[in-house]
Amino acid sequence: MKARILILMAAAVAALNISCAPKKSVEEKLAEFTEWNESFMDSYREGIMALNDNPDAAEAFADSCYEVFVNYNKTALEENLDNAVGLEALKNVYSELEDDELASYLDKFSAPLEDADSVFVASLKEGVASRRGTAEGMMFTDFEIDGVKFSDFIGKGKYVLVDFWASWCGPCRREMPNLRAVYDEFHGDKFDMLSVAVWDKPEDTVEAAKEEKIVWNQIINAQKVPTDIYGIEGIPHIILFGPDGTIVKRGLRGEAIRAKIAEVLGK
């Protein structure tokens, strides 16, 4: 089985040399790029299915495949900043790029853009600008939803852990046991929590909050308002704010949540 997986990986990686010789047209480059990605995903799905009964091996295989996928698409992006191949590669890997790296690509990007693509690239630039304006060490940015202000909870003398989530988001729901444990352990004069529901139907949020036993403060029906302000492209996105409203840490997940809170509280 292991040999079969390695063969699948090798076949996918070797499926296409994306150096894109100058004699090839953009259409040919794009066709080869698309063929590589489709072939790779077919091989990935076949490999994952073959490892259904071995979760550890499946996870290792998925991690290896993802690394290959990202490296391939980053190379395609770097070599095709002036054509459609680079644009499609950017769509595949933008979420894996640090803001400085993403901004560097966007500054160099000169591919002709359709209207929809122009909106996509513009949104990436806005996201970079938003995250730079709400980076760790920066003061929080306020917003208001249905008469409730973010500043009603932030900057009031406590550390506040804010979970941006949605009822339909599987990873968000899987993070809830960690959040409940943190709340039960640390809630008090120096620490509080806030859930902000985004991209969700209010009635679904309310139902999910009951199911997840969310007893801490909530802002419901925030939709895109906070995610645009804070440059959040995926959820859950968990941010720790300091007593004065300073952004202490972004992107907390899993065991790192408790560790960071214990650190700042001196526990």
Q: What is the pLDDT of residue 95?
A: 87
- β-pairing, 191-197 vs 217-219, is parallel
Domain end call among 133, 153, 187:
133
Domain end call among 133, 160, 182:
133
Task: Give the type of residue at 48.
Answer: I
Same domain, 129 and 148: no
In 3D space, the residue among 129, 191, 123, 194 whose CA is nearest the CA of residue 157 turns out to be 191
Q: What is the pLDDT of residue 22?
A: 55
138 inside domain: no
Query: Do residues 197 and 205 lie in contact, with contact meaning Cβ atoms separated by under 8 Å?
Result: yes
Domain end call among 133, 161, 196:
133
Residue pLDDT, tens place only, 48-90? 888 888 888 888 888 888 889 999 999 999 999 999 999 999 9
Q: Which domain holds residue 12?
A: 2-133
Residue given tokens 């003061």 in the structure block: 139
Residues of the chain with pLDDT under 50: 1-4, 12, 15-21
Is-cis flag, bond preceding 236, omega within 30?
yes
Q: Which residues contact 225 (CB under 8 A, 6 or more apart)?
A: 143, 145
139 inside domain: no
Residue pLDDT, tens place only, 179-207? 999 999 999 999 999 999 999 999 999 99
Which residues does residue 193 pair with via DSSP β-bridges, in sequence order?
Answer: 161
Prediction pTM value:
0.75
Rounded to 10 degrees, the C-alpha dihedral 78/79/85/88 comes to -10
Q: What is the pLDDT of residue 54?
A: 87
Q: Which residues contact 43 (CB under 8 A, 6 or more apart)?
A: 8, 9, 11, 12
Same domain, 129 and 188: no
Same domain, 68 and 117: yes
**What interhelical angle do 115-133 and 84-93 show, nearest 10?**
40
Same domain, 169 and 257: yes
